[in-house]
Amino acid sequence: MIQFAVVYNSRNKKLRKDGTASVQIRAYLDKKRKYFATGIYVTPMQWNKKSHQVQNHPQSLQYNAEIRRQLDELEAYVLDWIKKHGSMTLEQLENYFKYDDVQSFTDFWRYELEQDTKLTKITKKKHKTALNYWVEFQKNVKFSELTYNLIDDFDTFLFGKGLHTNTVYTHHKQVKKYINQAIRRGLLEATKNPYLNFTPKTQPTERIVLSTEEVERLEALTFERNEFYLELIRDMFLFSCYTGLRFSDTCAIRHKDIDQDKEGLLLNIVAKKTSKQLLLPLYKLHLRKPELLIQKHQIAGAKEERVFHQYSNQYFNRTLKELAVLAGITKPITSHVARHTFATHLAAKIPLHILKAILQHSKIETTMVYLHLSSKMVNDALDGVDW
């Protein structure tokens, strides 16, 4: 059980310029201590070491009452937590102070989003968009207002905006994420999660995949000197077709991420989205084609330079449309198509768990989609045979 004590200036022994120091609450558990400020400052002469109280101060009574109030609230919070969860650590106790000024679920979501440094720029933008819709729907939602009816009304609100079913589903995903976060922080009981009874709608999306012949048409394109930008984007797209890398990772590859072993080049990166290390032997993929692309764009001694270039996804996709026209491809090509093409062609050739590891999927079900796509491509091809 966490034990509390009121202490004075225990952490630094230094006084402020006005000669005062902080009164703190010390929490003690398993030989570990954490100190929490009460917001009260007094001089050494105004602190009674024996009674652990403020004395000889114009506001002694008010200060001591406030310290007692904070102690009572802390003890009640700990007892309530232990009643629900069985035990409590000092780290969990910190949440009491961390979210002390969080008055609502909306405030909590905003605070967590601002503090999260692990989210990529693109992901953070998605979360902010969902938050903006949430605030437009209802300016300030308290934890006690998180009910099935509220989420159902939010769903109706999003569809009323003319959003696609899968876009609505994505916004629900963000709300659900922060509700689960609040539950982990002990700010909401798990049994009160409104998504226990509400399931957002979703629609299967068609994944565009290039055939081997279409990829070869892109490979065969030639460019004039003033079309170097087209060639670079074509090479970036092909590199993703050969490796299955996400667009963000392809843009970020630097020369220092390329290692050499006895047989050829290895790609050694930490993926942007998953923060997991990925080690790919480029010489074992697609008859060494990704290795040849790296060598084509390699700059001697430029370890920190990018192999390709940092483009915006919008510009990259616009240029891919130009390339598709040049290659006589009628399919709508985007940066995602490269990854889908890689995964679909490989799905029938290697064990699914290996493909899952290369693609860095969290669930095998996500990877299995490509096995179904691979089978569909075979069926479609057979349908086109003039027997």
Q: What is the CATH number of the domain that holds 146?
A: 1.10.150.130
Q: What pLDDT was estimated at residue 383?
A: 63
Question: pTM score, two decimals?
Answer: 0.62
Q: Are residues 12 and 92 located together in one domain of the fold?
A: yes
Q: Does 300 map to a domain?
A: yes
pLDDT tens digits for 343-383? 999 988 888 899 999 999 888 888 888 877 777 665 665 56
Q: Does 201 map to a domain?
A: no
Q: Are residues 231 and 283 located together in one domain of the fold?
A: yes
Tell me how many domains the chain contains: 3
pLDDT value at 384 more than 80:
no
Quick one: 254 exposed, middle or buried, by C-beta within 10 A (0-12, 13-18, 19+)? middle
Of 98, 128, 148, the domain-final residue: 98
For residue 176, what are the CA distances in angstroms to 69, 151, 157, 170, 181? 35, 10, 16, 10, 9
Which residues are 40's β-sheet partners?
Answer: 23
Q: Does 270 map to a domain?
A: yes
Q: What pLDDT was estimated at residue 65?
A: 94
Q: Does 61 map to a domain?
A: yes
How far apart are the C-alpha atoms of 25 and 61, rounded to whole Å? 18
pLDDT value at 126 more than 80:
yes
Closest to 285 in 3D by CA, of 222, 238, 218? 238
Q: Are residues 90 and 114 located together in one domain of the fold?
A: no
Mean pLDDT, range 11-33, rounded to an integer: 87
Q: Does 236 map to a domain?
A: yes
Q: Does 206 map to a domain?
A: no
Q: What pLDDT was estimated at residue 171?
A: 97
Torsion of CA 315, 318, 320, 321, to 10 degrees: 180
3-state secondary structure of 115: helix
Q: Does 202 map to a domain?
A: no
Q: Are residues 247 and 370 located together in one domain of the fold?
A: yes
Q: What pLDDT was estimated at residue 38?
A: 85
Q: Are residues 268 and 189 located together in one domain of the fold?
A: no
The answer to which of 39-48, 99-108, 359-368 has the lowest mean pLDDT is: 99-108
Q: What pLDDT was estimated at residue 12?
A: 65
How far apart are the C-alpha atoms of 234 and 237, rounded to whole Å? 5
For 246, phi then psi, to 5°, come to -70, 155
Q: Are residues 153 and 47 located together in one domain of the fold?
A: no
Q: Are residues 174 and 234 located together in one domain of the fold?
A: no
pLDDT tens digits for 239-294? 999 999 999 999 999 999 999 999 999 999 999 888 889 999 999 999 999 999 99
Q: What pLDDT was estimated at residue 87?
A: 87
pLDDT tens digits for 52-103? 999 999 999 999 999 999 899 888 888 888 887 788 888 878 766 666 556 6
Confidence tier at 104 by pLDDT (50, 70, 90): confident
Paired tokens of 120? 């990529």
Q: Are residues 258 and 341 located together in one domain of the fold?
A: yes
Q: What pLDDT was estimated at residue 238?
A: 98
Of 98, 126, 159, the domain-final residue: 98
Structural domain of 234: 212-383
3-state secondary structure of 104: coil
Q: Are residues 138 and 262 located together in one domain of the fold?
A: no
pLDDT tens digits for 137-186? 999 999 889 999 999 999 999 999 999 999 999 999 999 999 999 888 77
Q: Are residues 282 and 373 located together in one domain of the fold?
A: yes
Q: Are residues 172 and 228 located together in one domain of the fold?
A: no
Q: Are residues 124 and 261 located together in one domain of the fold?
A: no
Please report which residue ranges of the chain form alpha helices under DSSP H.
60-85, 90-98, 105-115, 121-137, 148-160, 165-184, 212-220, 228-243, 247-252, 289-297, 313-327, 335-347, 352-359, 364-383
pLDDT tens digits for 188-230? 888 999 999 999 999 877 789 999 999 999 999 999 999 999 9
Q: What pLDDT was estimated at residue 63?
A: 94
Of 141, 168, 196, the domain-final residue: 196
Q: What pLDDT was estimated at residue 378?
A: 57
Cβ count within 10 A of residue 27: 21
Q: Does 328 map to a domain?
A: yes
3-state secondary structure of 76: helix
Which residues are 37's β-sheet partners?
Answer: 24
Mean pLDDT, range 119-134, rounded to an integer: 90
